[in-house]
């Protein structure tokens, strides 16, 4: 299957669009599942909620990590059962909880949410099974906890469990998520060790737990100098830790959220050259729907432009690193020139890349931007200037093109 040929054909009729390649998605899922025999993976719906993507991912056996009621209902609509959907987010309202309670496993993020769940369970004359999100006494890189808007501090949670204050709740799982985009297998291995120790502590406090959600952290390479996460090494090094836990707690399911890993490199963003102009010696290519279509390259440029650091620290999911995206021109021109890529919004911040060398391009040519599968369409301010939104297409395993539904 010639992906470039397919993109060229779509670019003839679409000025800007995302294309998600199912072959790459399936390849990434197989890579995870083959290296982690004892793990159930949850797809992070917030990174790409395209319905064709969701149906493909869930069809390969992944559950859902949902961050809103709408994501819960999207997962349900794509065929997942209540037990396969884990709803974890701060600031859930009582209306959120009521809407999600029969459609997902709710993970309480605060003491207030615990109280609301307990009150609702009492109204329903039942005992509800819930999870709790913990802010543990460790981070990825340290053995002490830090303040966070997410979760309940570990000791605070342990205290109310011991006190058995909430008679209409049965705590059946814990959830921790501390970091995204980690490429070091040894760092992730150490994190899993800490999580297993935490899981054993709360299994003893709560009795047998149904699940331990270890969150994500699985990264993908963006910059050219970044090396891919060694899944073989990570899976092999963590296997014994997971095996011992499963031997001790055979009825507890170990969960890991996929984050961007499954879809990040499956997506391409394609944008058409609308105009070309030269101003005071700078050649500008004006593109369709950049900041308002795929915002992350514009954010990267802003951070790189204003930061005093040579390698600014990532701030996910907005900014990962410098030079995170490649720009591939769809042109047959062999001449080269230095250009600045900008969008068609009425704002000076709508800049994608400055002073980069590319083959000479003209209006109606198109450019492919890489790494657009995660935090692309879902993150971009598409209402800006009331322009037409980019389209989203899904390339199936058998070569068919499906529009978003």
Whether 226 and 313 share a structural domain: no
So what's the pLDDT on residue 225? 87
Last residue of a domain, one of 257, 285, 300: 257
Which of the listed residues 257, 278, 313 is the one where a domain comes to its end?
257
CATH code, domain carrying 79? 3.20.20.10
- For residues 82 and 106, membership in a common domain is answered with yes
**Residue numbers of the domain that contains 282:** 265-403
Please compute the mean of the pLDDT values over residues 311-337 and round it to a whole number: 93
In a domain? residue 286: yes
pLDDT digits (tens, 9 = 90+) for 196-219: 999 999 999 998 899 999 999 999
At residue 1, does pLDDT exceed 80? no
pLDDT confidence of 276, banded at 50, 70, 90? very high
- Going by C-alpha positions, the residue among 155, 134, 218, 133 that lies closest to residue 181 is 218
Q: In terms of domains, do 291 and 201 share one?
A: no
- 7 belongs to a structural domain: no
Q: For 331, what's the count of Cα atoms within 13 Å in the CB-facing half-sphere? A: 20
Which residues are 129's β-sheet partners?
A: 170
Are 91 and 216 part of one and the same domain?
yes
- Same structural domain for residues 118 and 67? yes
| CA–CA distance, 311 with 163 (Å, rounded to integer) | 48
282 and 198 within one domain: no
Residues 232 and 280 in one domain: no
Residue 40 lies in a domain: no
Confidence of residue 405 (pLDDT cuts 50, 70, 90): confident
305 pLDDT band, cuts 50/70/90, is confident
Residue finishing a domain among 208, 229, 257? 257
Distance CA 84, CA 142 (A): 32
Whole-number Å distance between alpha carbons of 268 and 97: 36
**Pair of tokens at residue 125:** 């004359």
Q: Do 180 and 128 share a structural domain? A: yes
DSSP secondary structure string for all residues of 128-184: EEEEEEEE-S--SS-SS----SSSEEHHHHHHHHHHT--TTEEEEEEE----S-B--
Which residue in 62, 102, 99 sits closest to 84, CA to CA?
Answer: 62
- Can you give the pTM of this predicted structure? 0.96
Q: Do both 225 and 298 map to the same domain?
A: no
- What CATH number does residue 348 fall under? 2.40.37.10
In a domain, 42, yes or no: no
Decide if pLDDT at 220 tops 90. Answer: yes
Q: How many domains does the chain have?
A: 2
Q: What is the pLDDT of residue 163?
A: 85
Q: Is 166 exposed, middle or buried (0-12, 13-18, 19+ CB in 10 A)?
A: buried
In angstroms, the CA 113 to CA 119 distance is: 10
Is 92 inside a domain boundary? Answer: yes
Q: How does pLDDT run across 86-100, given as a tens digit for each residue?
A: 999 999 999 999 999
Q: Residue 224: pLDDT band by 50, 70, 90 thresholds?
A: confident
SS3 39: strand
User: Which residues are CB-contacts of 291 (< 8 A; sequence separation ≥ 6)?
Assistant: 298, 343, 345, 347, 349, 350, 352, 380, 381, 384
Q: How many CA atoms within 13 Å lie on the side-chain side of 206? A: 27
Q: Mean of the pLDDT values across residues 228-245?
A: 96
Q: What is the mean predicted confidence (pLDDT) over 323-352?
A: 95
Q: In whole numbers, what is the pLDDT of the chain averaged over residues?
A: 96
Return the pLDDT at 129: 97
């Amino acid at each position: 299957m010639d992906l470039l040929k397919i993109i060229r054909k779509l670019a003839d009729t679409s000025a800007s669009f995302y294309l998600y390649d199912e072959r790459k998605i399936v390849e990434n899922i197989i890579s995870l599942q083959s290296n982690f025999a004892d793990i159930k993976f949850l797809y992070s719906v917030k990174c790409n909620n395209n319905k064709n993507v969701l149906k493909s991912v869930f069809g390969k056996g992944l559950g859902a990590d949902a961050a809103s009621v709408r994501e819960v209902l999207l997962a349900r609509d794509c065929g997942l059962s209540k037990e396969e959907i884990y709803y974890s987010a701060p600031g859930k309202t009582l209306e959120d909880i009521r809407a999600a309670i029969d459609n997902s496993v709710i993970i309480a993020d605060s003491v207030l949410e615990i109280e609301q769940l307990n009150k609702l369970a009492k109204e329903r004359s039942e005992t509800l099974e819930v999870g709790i999100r913990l802010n543990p006494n460790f981070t990825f890189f340290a053995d002490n906890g830090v303040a966070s808007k997410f979760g309940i501090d570990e000791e605070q949670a342990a205290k109310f469990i011991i006190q058995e204050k909430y008679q209409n709740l049965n705590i059946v799982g814990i959830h921790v998520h501390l970091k995204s985009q980690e490429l070091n297998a040894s760092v992730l291995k150490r994190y899993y060790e800490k999580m297993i120790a935490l899981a054993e502590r709360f299994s003893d406090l709560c009795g047998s737990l149904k699940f331990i959600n270890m969150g994500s952290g699985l990264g993908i390479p963006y910059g050219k100098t970044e090396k891919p996460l060694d899944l073989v090494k990570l899976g092999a090094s963590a296997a014994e830790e997971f095996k011992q836990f499963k031997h001790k707690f055979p009825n507890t399911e170990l969960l890991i959220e996929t984050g961007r890993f499954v879809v990040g490199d499956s997506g391409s963003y394609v944008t058409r050259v609308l105009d070309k102009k030269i101003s005071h010696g700078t050649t500008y290519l004006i593109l369709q729907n950049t900041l308002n279509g795929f915002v992350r390259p514009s954010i990267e440029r802003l951070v790189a432009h204003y930061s005093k650091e040579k390698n600014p620290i990532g701030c996910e999911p907005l900014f990962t690193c410098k030079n995170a995206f490649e720009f591939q021109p769809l042109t047959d021109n062999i001449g080269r020139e230095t250009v600045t890529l900008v969008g068609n919004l009425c704002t000076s911040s709508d800049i994608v890349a400055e002073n980069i060398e590319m083959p000479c391009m003209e209006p109606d040519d198109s450019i492919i931007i890489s790494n657009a599968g995660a935090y692309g369409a879902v993150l971009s301010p598409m209402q800006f200037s009331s322009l037409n939104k980019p389209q989203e297409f899904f390339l199936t395993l058998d070569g068919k093109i499906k529009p978003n539904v």
